[in-house]
A = this chain, B = another copy of it.
């Protein structure tokens, strides 16, 4: 019998390349922290789930609709008319739209992951590049590239520049670099509100992004998945706060940075978008997962009011992104109670703000640096002092183990085991960062997102999810601090 031919290049690669973040994600499901039933399980402060209003959501969904004959039959693969009408109504009420969108502008998908994937392959040919700012939402790495043949090219933007037009020079530089290699950047991703920093792009930065894309003949995918989870803003009477940076940290430049607290402006809200870019280049994604605390239901959508071809291509491939008819009708009913929804959105923001205040206080008390955030479920935090402690603890443990026993070579000094310890966070490596993250998940029972998985520029920066009950969040953070401290 013949040796069988390998799978496709894609299939072979994906089957034989390890993807640690994917493995960890799947491990989390097998050992979830549950206060009563699995108290030693992993506290998940790494995956962006908003658990703050689960009861409200579940009660409303259960009231919404039972299975009926219609649930068993094929609905429209782009989402039923009724569902798309409710989505349009939601967006028109809450995105400050310039021109109201209609059901016809929307294609529903089984999650925004699928939405970003389908947009990538209807826009990019194999070999084309997609540009995105880093640190980035890690799943973009697969959402954009899997099956499309496109590459994701990140532009390293210091967080202190994230709200400044100065970053455009970095994008220009990357564009020139790629062009010189014959690589065509065909699409730009703008993630606004920004994941993982929770910052919002000021209008002038968005203008510059649009002009940049226009000048280079690029499409723009605007990921607005956290559009309705803006909990700090001028209209809420919040005031800017300085970045909190602890003494021994990897970030030297930003100690005194005062954040720019700006209003979120959806791409759909601009009266003068065409002053900056041909709107046909622009497509927006949003969905139920984040703003409505429903990651598990896998429902996202593509909004394309300006480009008929994008809409049509997404529609005509929607058989592959099909959601359940039952989910479609349950969510139609869910969204149709406008009073509930509008009130729910306020509640989401209030709860996020409460939790944000708690975690920022915790960070200050425990000497953990962070950048102030405005939106989303997360905060970008500087664990480098913890990482330094953890790394030295590990070096000592390794040395002890090499020397056979603990007391043999101990002399009570800092170099007690004849091991050269790190003295500054600047000595930390990406390997250290990944090592602590791995141990946190598998040994300490807490999962955050390592900066390395989000292409952070410095080891030690991480994304922490705070949209979970405070006692669980505090337990996770306590575990982490205890785990990395030298006397454990």
Q: Give A contacts to B, CB under 8 Å.
A: 1-2, 4-5, 7-12, 14-16, 19, 22, 25-26, 29-30, 47, 49, 51, 54-55, 57-58, 61-62, 66-77, 80-81, 110-111, 113-114, 117, 121-126, 128, 139, 142-143, 146-147, 186, 214, 217, 219, 274, 277-278, 280-281, 293-299, 308-310, 312-313, 316-317, 319-327
The answer to whether A114 and B322 touch (CB under 8 A), given A15-B309, A122-B15, A123-B11, is yes
Contacts A1-B214, A74-B49, A147-B147 given: A324-B322 contact, CB under 8 Å? no
Are A121 and B142 in contact, CB atoms less than 8 angstroms apart?
Answer: no
Q: Name, among A57, A114, A128, A322, the residue most crowded by chain B CB atoms within 10 Å (CB to CB).
A: A322
Q: A283: shortest Cβ distance to chain B, in Å?
A: 11
- The answer to whether B296 touches A71, judged by C-beta atoms less than 8 angstroms apart, is yes
* Contact (A113, B322) CB under 8 Å given A12-B309, A14-B313: yes
Chain B residue, CB-CB nearest to A55:
B69
A-B contact pairs, 11 of them (CB 8 A): A1-B278, A7-B310, A26-B77, A29-B76, A58-B67, A58-B68, A72-B293, A117-B320, A126-B126, A142-B319, A297-B326
Contacts of A214 in B (CB 8 A): 1-2
* A295: contacting residue among B66, B73, B126, CB under 8 A: B73
Counting every copy of the chain, the complex holds: 2
Cα separation A320 to B111 with both chains bound (whole Å): 8
Task: Tell me, rounded to whole Å, the shortest Cβ–Cβ distance linking A32 to chain B.
Answer: 9
Cα A11 to Cα B296 with chains together (Å): 29
Q: With both chains docked as a complex, state the minimum distance between the C-beta of A427 and any C-beta of chain B, in angstroms.
A: 35
Contact check, A297 vs B278: say whether CB atoms are below 8 A apart.
no
Contact B316 A296 (CB under 8 A): no
CB distance B122 to A10 under 8 Å?
Answer: yes
Beyond A11-B310, A51-B69, 5 additional pairs, beta carbon < 8 A:
A8-B122, A14-B316, A55-B69, A110-B324, A146-B317
Q: A71-B58, A326-B327, A327-B324 given as contacts; is B8 within 8 A of A125 (CB)?
A: yes
- Which residues of chain B are near A58, meaning CB under 8 Å? 66-69, 71-72
Q: How far is the CA of A274 from the CA of B1 in the complex (A)?
A: 9
Q: Are B110 and A11 in contact (CB-based, < 8 A)?
A: no
Contact assessment for B113 and A29 in the assembled complex, using a CB-CB cutoff below 8 Å: no
List residues of chain B with CB within 8 A of the CB of A10: 121-122, 125, 313
Find out whether the CB atom of A297 lies under 8 angstroms from the CB atom of B316. Answer: no
- Chain B residues closer than 8 Å to A113, beta-carbon distance: 319-320, 322
- What separation, in Å, do the CA atoms of A310 and B6 have in the docked complex? 10
User: What residues on B are CB-neighbors of A30 within 8 Å?
Assistant: 81
**A117–B8 alpha-carbon span in the complex (Å):** 13
A323 touching B295, Cβ below 8 Å? no
A125 CB contacts on chain B under 8 angstroms: 8-10
Residue in contact with A316 in the complex, picked from B15, B124, B320, CB distance below 8 Å: B15
